[in-house]
Amino acid sequence: YVSGSKKEFAVIGLGRFGGSICRELSQLGMEVMAIDVDEDRVNEFSNIASHAVIADSTDEMVLKSLGIRNFDHVVVAIGDNIQASILTTLMLKELGVENITVKATNDYHEKVLRKIGADQVVHPERDMGKRIANTIASTSVLDYLELSDEHSVVELMANKRIHGQTLQDLNIRARFGLNIVAIKRGKEIFVSPRATEAIYEGDILIMIGADDEIDRFEVYLE
């Protein structure tokens, strides 16, 4: 998904995580200001980001002079320096930055960031670990997106068990309370498939519903 509007971002901290965000946003055609205290890191991004600046984000005057509050979205990707990360987030919040995404290094860090009003806290190592554990633990789930503690969107591989059946035959909505929102077949994708659409082995079913119902459907497939 690429948004239609061009937004202005600032990324503070250009390590592996912040660097990757910076590269990707730039590639998506967004305006990005790349900020780091480390000169070498900043130089690395001078040709990638719209602007690359050597600056210490824990200095309020510096943040003000960069006009940080005019950015649509600021990402704080300061790695292990938890104090700097928290202080930076606090000041961004105080300066009235609309949207702040912060990388947390551990659960305590995450708790504090939420408390001081970070709009989005990400914990990439933990989240990715969780995601990979979930997909490798299951035989049919290829990918998933957590919507809440109890609901997800999952990608499931259709197998022999349901080969040739239509959505109507399967009656998944009534039996499991699950909705199939799309079917991927090779390079094709059928969004909002009709009830008469047949499913074939190897199709990828994108479905939404309660986690325990998804589990029940997985068991049904086995």
Binding site for ligand ADP (CB under 6 A): 12-18, 35-38, 41, 56-58, 77-81, 84
Q: Which residue lies nearer to ligand ADP by CB, 16 or 175?
A: 16
Residue 84 CB, nearest approach to ligand ADP (Å): 4
Give SS3 for 118.
Answer: coil
Name which of 68, 93, 88 is nearest 77 in CA terms: 88
Q: Which residue is nearest to ligand ADP (CB)?
A: 79
Select 87 or 170, whichever has its Cβ closest to ligand ADP: 87
Q: Report which DSSP code applies to 166.
A: B
Of 92 and 205, nearer to ligand ADP (C-beta) is 92
| CB of 13 or CB of 193, closer to ligand ADP | 13
Least distance in Å: CB of 136 to ligand ADP?
24
Nearer to ligand ADP, 41 or 184 (CB): 41
CA–CA gap between residue 60 and residue 63 (Å, rounded): 5
Q: To the nearest 10°, report the CA torsion of 88, 130, 177, 217.
A: 170
Instruction: Output the CA–CA distances (angstroms, integers) from residue 214 to 29, 146, 168, 175, in the order listed.
Output: 37, 12, 18, 11
- Rounded to whole angstroms, the Cα distance separating 99 from 97 reads 6
- Nearest-CA neighbor of 76 among 62, 64, 90? 90
Shortest approach of ligand ADP to residue 22 CB, angstroms?
Answer: 11
Question: Minimum CB separation from ligand ADP for residue 91, in Å?
Answer: 11
Closest CB to ligand ADP among 14 and 214?
14
Element (H, E) at 94: helix 82-94
Q: Could you tell me the smallest distance in angstroms from the CB atom of residue 163 to ligand ADP? A: 44
Q: How far is the CB of 132 from ligand ADP (least distance, A)?
A: 18
Beta bridge partners of 143: 155
